[in-house]
């Protein structure tokens, strides 16, 4: 799905988290929102997911105005920073949650839900953990379960907030490839937030560098590296 | 190193562990405190209750006044505890899941019943709803008196026990944050469904604990209830007020027998909580991160 961000701004009280920013994300792209903390990248992601609403501006999905669309109706698979798995539910129930939450008319049967959950568990290469609780999983496993849970609702896009933030260096490398694979298999437009320039450059097709609520540069990783648009970008990508 | 020093290694103890003398002194002090303040009075209640034998004690409990008092207290608890559980959950949810002006003030307001004397609270209800007040006068004219009747006792009990549930829930809900609720919403769940499938299961133990504390306090409340109820025997006298009246009349077996029943009710709630904790120990371990 193609995403168009048109002059979006966001005020929290008297502070501006986002100055009007515009951005066009091609369908099926893997996009990184890169910037230091306080750059507005997470706010932008949450606006895309419908968890925050912009003070001004519009969001368009495939040319349709989606600015006022509720979080439930966005069908955005959202992976949270600390994964936000439901701690009182098994991995199976976590992944099945979105399907069980559907209105009765469009809810799959129990057997169908079970089939889809086991398929997703295979996709994240953890076929045998359905009966476990989140507290019994490692950080990397939790992240993959969160990904499977987001994919279960057959989302129109995938939004990830610092998906590798809470992991150690080795697991981080492995899961980067995992996300790339899942993106390539599903073909979903995927946006992830990171403060790690190496991660953004290595993984994304398109990198959006942000600072203090503004977009500094949009481009392919190699272009940004070769021709940083502003002194901030130059400094940030060499850090 | 010589062999002697190897054979007799120095005894190390973890930095957080006290010397044995200090340890035993502290344990003894704790038991002494518990014994004097908790166990001795509890035993004394039962000893006094059974001072003239089991039969006399049971006979005093079989009187109409005692029966009515027990019935009234249980009814009051059965009405006010669920209502306060609902209000407590609503207040805690509102305070922890939303940002708004005056939040700190609202938290202070919830604590108000803890700092106000129950007698003052009772007097406030009499002033508000008594027959001499505008509202109270009108309600009495309609045939629904508040003061010296069940509604007043419920109001007084609810006022005094209001903070228990909210106070238990607020720290737990602050610690858990909003991420799980947000996750449920992005997965397509309605706010209502999110509340029942994510919020409530995450707070159920704190909620249970708050409800049990609230229940114990609701059954035991004396001051506020004594003011608003008028202590009419067989009608508006609860267990605590009846116990006090019996004691004032030197009917010590009757007073202590009823007191023993009240203490037993409290013990039953505690046992219930412990049993639930043992039964769901694995779930507790899986869901509690602190």
- End-to-end C-alpha distance for chain A, whole angstroms: 33
Tell me: the pLDDT tens digits for B164-219?
A: 999 999 999 988 889 999 999 999 999 999 999 999 999 988 898 899 889 989 99
Q: How far B84 CA sits from the closest chain A CA (Å)?
A: 25
Q: Predicted confidence band at B1 (pLDDT cuts at 50, 70, 90)? A: very low
pLDDT at B134: 85
Q: Is A29 on the interface with B (CB under 8 A)?
A: no
Mean pLDDT of all residues in A179-193: 94
Would you say residue A154 has pLDDT above 60?
yes
pLDDT at B186: 96
Q: Is A82 on the interface with B (CB under 8 A)?
A: yes
pLDDT at B289: 44
Find chain B residues with C-beta within 8 A of A98's C-beta. Answer: 187-189
> Residue A72 and residue B202: Cβ atoms within 8 Å?
no
Q: Predicted confidence band at B16 (pLDDT cuts at 50, 70, 90)? A: confident
Q: Is A116 on the interface with B (CB under 8 A)?
A: no
Q: Is A106 on the interface with B (CB under 8 A)?
A: no
Average pLDDT, chain B: 88
Q: Reduce the DSSP state of residue A20 to 3 states and report it.
A: strand
Interface of B to A at Cβ within 8 Å reads 179-180, 182-190, 193, 197-198, 201-202, 283, 285-287, 289
Of B179, B183, B185, the CB nearest to A72: B185
Would you say residue B283 has pLDDT above 80?
no
Bridge partners (DSSP) listed for residue A23: A5
Handedness of CA B118, B123, B127, B129 (dihedral sign): positive
> Residue B186 and residue A87: Cβ atoms within 8 Å?
no
Would you say residue A75 has pLDDT above 80?
yes
Q: Predicted confidence band at B145 (pLDDT cuts at 50, 70, 90)? A: confident
pLDDT at B35: 93
- A228 CA to centre of own chain: 25
DSSP code at position B197:
I
Write the DSSP string, B124-177.
HHHHHHSTTSHHHHHHHHTT---TTSHHHHHHHHHHHHHHHHHHHHHHHHHHH-
> Residue A84 and residue B189: Cβ atoms within 8 Å?
no
Q: Is A80 on the interface with B (CB under 8 A)?
A: yes
Q: Which of B100, B172, B183, B189 to mutate against chain A (most A CBs within 10 Å)?
A: B183
Backbone angles phi, psi at A208, to 5 degrees: -110, 110
Q: Which residue has the tokens 């701690």?
A: A87
> Residue B187 and residue A149: Cβ atoms within 8 Å?
yes
Tell me: the pLDDT tens digits for B240-273?
A: 999 999 999 998 899 999 999 999 988 888 888 8
Q: Predicted confidence band at B290 (pLDDT cuts at 50, 70, 90)? A: very low
Write the DSSP string, B199-218.
IHHHHHHHHHHHHHHHHHHH
Outline which parts of chain A fall under CATH 3.40.50.300. 3-75+155-238
Would you say residue B62 has pLDDT above 70?
yes
Would you say residue B65 has pLDDT above 70?
yes
> Residue A135 and residue B289: Cβ atoms within 8 Å?
yes
Would you say residue B4 has pLDDT above 60?
no
Q: Reduce the DSSP state of residue B1 to 3 states and report it.
A: coil
Of B188, B190, B287, the CB nearest to A98: B188
Looking at per-residue confidence, does B144 or B16 come out higher?
A: B144
Looking at per-residue confidence, does B132 or A126 come out higher?
A: A126
> Residue A133 and residue B286: Cβ atoms within 8 Å?
yes
- End-to-end C-alpha distance for chain B, whole angstroms: 46
Q: Cα–Cα distance between A217 and A231 in angstroms, integer?
A: 11
Q: Predicted confidence band at A90 (pLDDT cuts at 50, 70, 90)? A: very high
Closest CA to B148 of B123, B127, B130: B130
Would you say residue B2 has pLDDT above 70?
no
Tell me: the pLDDT tens digits for B17-46?
A: 778 888 899 999 999 999 999 899 999 999
Q: Is A163 on the interface with B (CB under 8 A)?
A: no
Mean pLDDT of all residues in A58-65: 94
Structure tokens at B248: 């004032």
Would you say residue B8 has pLDDT above 60?
no
pLDDT at B10: 61
Would you say residue B67 has pLDDT above 50?
yes
pLDDT at B139: 87
- Is the Cβ–Cβ distance between B290 and B175 less than 8 Å? yes
For A101, the closest chain B residue by CA position comes to: B189
Find chain A residues with C-beta within 8 A of B179's C-beta. Answer: 80-82, 84
Classified by CATH at the fold level, domain A3-75+155-238 comes out as: Rossmann fold (3.40.50)
Contacts 24+ apart (CB under 8 A), B26-32: none
Q: What angle do CA A200, A204, A207 make, to 5 degrees?
A: 70
Q: Cα–Cα distance between A3 and A62 in angstroms, integer?
A: 6
For B201, the closest chain A residue by CA position comes to: A88
Of A72, A87, A89, the CB nearest to B188: A72
DSSP code at position A164:
T
Mean pLDDT of all residues in A182-208: 94
pLDDT at B7: 56
Q: State ipTM.
A: 0.93
Closest CA to B207 of B262, B243, B247, B166: B166
A vs B, Cβ pairs < 8 A, gives 77
Mean pLDDT of all residues in B129-155: 87
**To the nearest 10°, the Cα dihedral for B192, B173, A168, A234?**
80
Backbone angles phi, psi at A192, to 5 degrees: -125, 150
Q: Is A87 on the interface with B (CB under 8 A)?
A: yes
Find chain B residues with C-beta within 8 A of A88's C-beta. Answer: 201-202, 283, 286-287
Looking at per-residue confidence, does B1 or B229 come out higher?
A: B229
Backbone angles phi, psi at B222, to 5 degrees: -115, -60
B82-86, B111-115, B129-133 — which is least confidently predicted? B129-133
As a residue count, chain B comes to: 290
State the pTM of this model: 0.82
- Is the Cβ–Cβ distance between B254 and B246 less than 8 Å? yes
Of A77, A81, A87, the CB nearest to B202: A87
Q: Predicted confidence band at A69 (pLDDT cuts at 50, 70, 90)? A: very high
Tell me: the pLDDT tens digits for A12-56?
A: 888 899 999 999 999 999 999 999 998 999 999 999 999 999 999
- Is the Cβ–Cβ distance between B232 and B147 less than 8 Å? no
């Amino acid at each position: 799905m193609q995403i168009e961000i048109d002059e979006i701004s966001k005020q929290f009280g008297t502070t501006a988290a986002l100055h009007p920013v515009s951005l066009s994300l091609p369908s099926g792209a893997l996009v990184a929102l890169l910037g230091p903390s306080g750059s507005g990248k997470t706010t932008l992601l949450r606006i895309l997911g419908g968890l925050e609403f912009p003070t001004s501006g519009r969001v368009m999905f495939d040319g349709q105005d989606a600015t006022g669309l509720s979080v439930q109706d966005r069908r955005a698979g959202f992976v949270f920073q600390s994964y936000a798995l439901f701690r009182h539910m098994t991995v199976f129930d976590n992944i099945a949650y979105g399907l069980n939450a559907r209105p009765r008319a469009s809810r799959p049967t129990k057997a169908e839900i079970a089939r889809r959950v086991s398929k997703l568990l295979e996709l994240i290469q953890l076929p045998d953990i359905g009966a476990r609780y989140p507290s019994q999983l490692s950080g990397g496993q939790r992240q993959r379960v969160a990904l499977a849970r987001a994919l279960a609702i057959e989302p129109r896009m995938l939004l990830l907030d610092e998906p590798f933030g809470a992991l150690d260096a080795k697991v981080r490398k492995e899961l980067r490839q995992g996300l790339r694979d899942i993106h390539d298999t599903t073909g979903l437009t995927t946006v992830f937030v990171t403060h790690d320039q190496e991660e953004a450059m290595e993984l994304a097709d398109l990198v959006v560098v942000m600072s203090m609520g503004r977009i500094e540069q949009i481009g392919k990783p190699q272009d940004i590296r070769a021709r940083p648009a502003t002194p901030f970008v130059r400094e940030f990508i060499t850090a | 190193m010589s062999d002697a020093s190897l054979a007799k290694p120095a005894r190390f103890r973890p930095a957080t562990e006290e010397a044995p003398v200090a340890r035993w002194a502290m344990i003894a002090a704790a038991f002494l405190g518990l014994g004097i303040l908790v166990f001795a009075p509890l035993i004394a209640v039962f000893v006094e209750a059974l001072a003239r034998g089991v039969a006399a004690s049971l006979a005093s409990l079989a009187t109409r006044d005692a029966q009515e008092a027990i019935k009234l207290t249980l009814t009051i608890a059965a009405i006010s505890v669920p209502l306060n559980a609902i209000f407590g959950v609503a207040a805690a949810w509102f305070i922890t899941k939303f940002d708004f002006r005056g939040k700190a003030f609202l938290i202070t307001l919830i604590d108000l019943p803890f700092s106000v004397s129950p007698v003052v609270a009772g007097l406030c209800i009499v002033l508000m709803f008594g027959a001499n007040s505008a509202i109270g006068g009108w309600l009495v004219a309609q045939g629904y008196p508040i003061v010296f009747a069940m509604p007043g006792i419920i109001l007084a009990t609810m006022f005094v026990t209001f903070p228990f549930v909210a106070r238990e829930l607020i720290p737990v809900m602050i610690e858990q944050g909003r991420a799980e609720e947000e996750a449920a919403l992005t997965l397509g769940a309605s706010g209502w469904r999110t509340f029942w499938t994510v919020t409530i299961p995450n707070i159920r133990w704190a909620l249970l604990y708050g409800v049990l504390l609230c229940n114990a306090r609701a059954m035991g409340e004396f001051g506020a209830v004594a003011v608003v109820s008028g202590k009419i025997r067989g009608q508006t006298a609860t267990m605590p007020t009846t116990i006090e009246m019996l004691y004032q009349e030197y009917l010590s077996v009757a007073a202590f027998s009823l007191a023993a029943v009240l203490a037993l009710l409290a013990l039953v709630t505690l046992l219930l909580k412990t049993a639930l904790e043992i039964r769901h120990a694995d779930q507790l371990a899986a869901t509690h991160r602190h």
